[in-house]
């Protein structure tokens, strides 16, 4: 088996395993949520019949049952994610050996690398704290990314363009792929934060002029939907999710700042100028501004919570736009990135 076949086979295997892990993580969420809902119902019933002092004891009895019901799904999810990540690493290494350079010179290679870093970040953080509730989102992201890479974005190994024949390819693009993985995990945590926030504190809006009618209708739809979303019971409170996403975004912002600076230095080496308002450069700066605004808003009184979360969502959306729309539809010095 040559390196190309090995890479494709390993990445295909990783895609299947990530899909299995996604389903297993989703089942775990559902089982934990069901048990929490059942425990709350029993506790409410105990209070209703005058046994309020017994409510904590009832929940303590039900807790082992919750762990037992979710343990099998959690074990399958963890093992398949780990094996999938190992196969993913093999696929990346084989691609690099076949190409003769680091595997992030085009959209296909960037996609398989960025999704790997997302899973790696998840596995590293998981060793420090229990974030299994992010597992379905992270493995789902990796499944979709690898699926698109293998079926839509795949490109045979080719010679590097002259602009990429530099050690800055390793420095600049490696950090960019790592940051993409960090921001992807943070995006999933932020999305869950918004869902929990609408579930916990969302109030139906009943007042407002006709100009705000569409906003009021959209807001109320989210509140009603997430109040009925049972699996959110297995997700931590919005404040905990906000703290996690803030830490990830803070690390990602520092690394993205380095990415933009390294890109400017590389541009001076390759094209004789640090900044030329190329579409890729402009969007990289837009991403930097959005995450800078998020970090500032998060630490400013009155902007923490839902408002700053939407800024983080906007930042990751700009990152995806930079990778897809800018690469495919904008002409510039970075056009080779869309090949």
The pLDDT tens digits for 312-334 are 999 999 999 998 888 887 666 55
Is the domain of 144 the same as that of 284? no
Is the domain of 207 the same as that of 289? yes
pLDDT at 254: 96
Structure tokens given for 318: 């700009």
The count of domains in the chain is: 2
Residue 181 backbone dihedrals phi, psi, to 5 degrees: -65, -45
pLDDT tens figures, 178-199: 999 999 999 999 999 998 888 8
Domain that holds residue 9: 1-102+116-159
Residue 110 domain-assigned (yes or no): no
Does the structure show a pLDDT above 90 at 69?
no
Lowest-confidence region among 156-160, 233-237, 255-259: 156-160
Is the domain of 139 the same as that of 128? yes
- pTM higher than the cut 0.85: yes
Residue 74 domain-assigned (yes or no): yes
Residue 59 domain-assigned (yes or no): yes
pLDDT at 179: 95
Label residues 33-63 b or e (16+ Cβ within 10 Å = b).
Answer: bbbbeebeebbeebeeeeeeeebeebbeebe
Residue-averaged pLDDT of the chain? 84
pLDDT at 54: 53
Is the domain of 302 the same as that of 260? yes
């Amino acid at each position: 088996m040559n390196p190309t076949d090995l890479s494709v086979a390993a990445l295909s295997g990783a895609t299947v395993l990530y899909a299995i892990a996604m389903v297993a993580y989703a089942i775990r969420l559902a089982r934990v949520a069901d048990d929490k809902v059942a425990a709350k119902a029993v506790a409410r019933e105990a209070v209703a019949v005058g046994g309020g002092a017994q409510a904590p004891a009832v929940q303590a009895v039900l807790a082992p049952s919750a762990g037992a019901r979710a343990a099998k799904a959690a074990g399958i999810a963890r093992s398949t994610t780990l094996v999938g990540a190992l196969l993913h690493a093999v696929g990346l290494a084989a691609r690099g050996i076949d190409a003769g350079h680091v595997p992030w010179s085009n959209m296909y290679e960037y996609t398989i690398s960025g999704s790997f870093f997302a899973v790696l970040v998840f596995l590293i953080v998981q060793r420090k704290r229990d974030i299994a509730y992010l597992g379905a989102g992270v493995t789902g992201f990796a499944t979709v990314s690898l699926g698109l890479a293998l079926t839509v974005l795949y490109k045979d190994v080719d010679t590097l363009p002259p602009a990429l024949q530099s050690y800055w390819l390793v420095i600049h693009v490696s950090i960019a792929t790592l940051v993409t993985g960090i921001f992807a995990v943070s995006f999933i945590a932020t999305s869950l934060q918004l869902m929990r926030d609408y579930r916990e504190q969302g109030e139906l809006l009943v007042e407002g002029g006709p100009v705000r009618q569409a906003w009021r209708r959209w807001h109320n739809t989210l509140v009603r939907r997430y109040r009925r979303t049972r699996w959110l019971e297995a997700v931590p409170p919005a404040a905990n999710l906000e703290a996690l996403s803030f830490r990830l975004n803070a690390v990602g912002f520092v690394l993205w700042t380095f990415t933009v600076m390294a890109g400017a230095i590389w541009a001076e080496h390759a094209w004789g100028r640090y900044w030329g308002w190329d579409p890729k450069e402009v969007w990289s700066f837009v991403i930097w501004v959005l995450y800078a605004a998020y970090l500032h808003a998060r630490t400013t009184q009155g902007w923490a919570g839902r408002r700053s979360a939407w800024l983080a969502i906007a930042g990751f959306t700009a990152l995806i736009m930079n990778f897809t729309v800018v690469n495919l539809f904008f002409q510039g010095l970075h056009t080779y990135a869309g090949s």
